[in-house]
Amino acid sequence: MAAAARRAGGATPDGSYGWAGPMFWPFAHDDLTTAVIFGDTTSLSLYGYGDIYAAIFAPYAATELAAYTTPQGRRGRRVPTVEALCDASDTGGLPVDRIAAAVQPNELQRAELDELATAWVAARDIIRASCPTEVPASASERLGLMQTRLEAMIKATDAIAPPLAKFVDLLDDGQKAKLEALANERRAALAAGQHKDAQAAAACQADYDPRYDLQAQRQYQQLVQQQWPADDIAATLRLDDTGRARLDVLQDTTLRTMETLSACPTKAVATPQARLAAVKTRLETMLQAVKGVGDALDDFEADLTDAQKAAFEAIGPKRGGVSPSSSNGAASAASRLVGTTVISRGQTHQSVMRFGAIAR
């Protein structure tokens, strides 16, 4: 099996991964704008395995999550409400003025740019409508929230696609080049400020052969041992043979999302329409991965007692939320590597691992 991706991600104010308390992907609309208009898919590509892992083993205790839905009191609060997170998630929207300054649209083109801006606002509203109204209380509910958010983002791309194509098609070649220059400038700035990691760069090359990378193999083994202490989980929950087998399936299904949700940089796409299509494909791939893990989780929990489910839910907070973006060991946020042979419960899989080198 070729497995792939692990992203480092930067820490949110309350933890790490793409979660801020009960909110998954709080800046989804901004990331969509940045990817489509400016060609910067950094944040987009870093969502993946770590977020799914965080949905299963949330680092937050129930009391911490409850703070996000507590009404605003007279005294200042350190934890924002869910509503506040949703309100703050769109910090810019479509950069109409920058686009207009770049392409100098005529009257017809400006009218279509305004239509595109209206569609962008509609896309924001679609995403905002997927904000949670209650704190997800279990791994199943958190995966369900991920699914809802991803479905909303996909729907948002569909809302944007027609007016985006109509606007760009009205531009002449010179104007299209000027529009694309916005993305080229962003890429150049990213390349100049990005930390160079030779191991990460080599690991993302097409000709990289993981069979000869012993360090990759050791790091992957460390990651699995750190994040998936299956023996300890089985002992804590007092699983029978069937329960342990289902836990193994959940672990394997989740780890395989490293393959389908690679954080390695993708080849730059030349037009906004093509970038939008690539974003939608990425979101659809992530949605299928989340559904697959959700199915495995449902199977695992099907015959658990309420006490076992509660004990499973308590694992994340008790472990302090073992972070996929930890700064040491197998979970180093500074490296991305590809490939290893994973030996798990007697089965050998060829696995590809990529640890995200770019902090959110």
CA atoms within 13 A on the CB side of 193: 9
Predicted confidence (pLDDT) per residue in 67-106, tens digit: 776 665 545 456 777 777 777 766 678 999 999 999 999 9
Average pLDDT, the chain: 78
Predicted confidence (pLDDT) per residue in 252-296, tens digit: 999 999 888 887 777 777 899 999 999 999 999 999 999 999 999
pLDDT for 113 equals 97
Residue 195 has pLDDT above 90, yes or no: no
Predicted confidence (pLDDT) per residue in 212-255, tens digit: 777 777 888 888 888 898 999 999 999 999 999 999 999 999 99
Q: Are β-strands 19-20 and 347-351 bridged in parallel, bridged antiparallel, or unpaired?
A: unpaired
pLDDT for 69 equals 66
pLDDT for 331 equals 31
Residue 311 has pLDDT above 70, yes or no: yes
The band of 10, judged by pLDDT with boundaries at 50, 70 and 90, is: very low
pLDDT for 87 equals 73
d(CA 72, CA 51): 28
Q: Summarize the confidence of residues 319-343 as an average pLDDT.
A: 36
Model confidence, pTM: 0.81
Residue 210 has pLDDT above 60, yes or no: yes
Domain ranges of the chain: 5-355
Q: Summarize the confidence of residues 131-148 as an average pLDDT.
A: 91
Burial of 226 (0-12, 13-18, 19+ CB in 10 A): middle
Which range has the worst mean pLDDT, 79-88, 129-138, 343-352? 343-352
The band of 335, judged by pLDDT with boundaries at 50, 70 and 90, is: very low
**Most confidently modeled of 106-110, 124-128, 135-139, 339-343?**
106-110
Residue 140 has pLDDT above 50, yes or no: yes
- Higher-pLDDT residue of 349, 68: 68
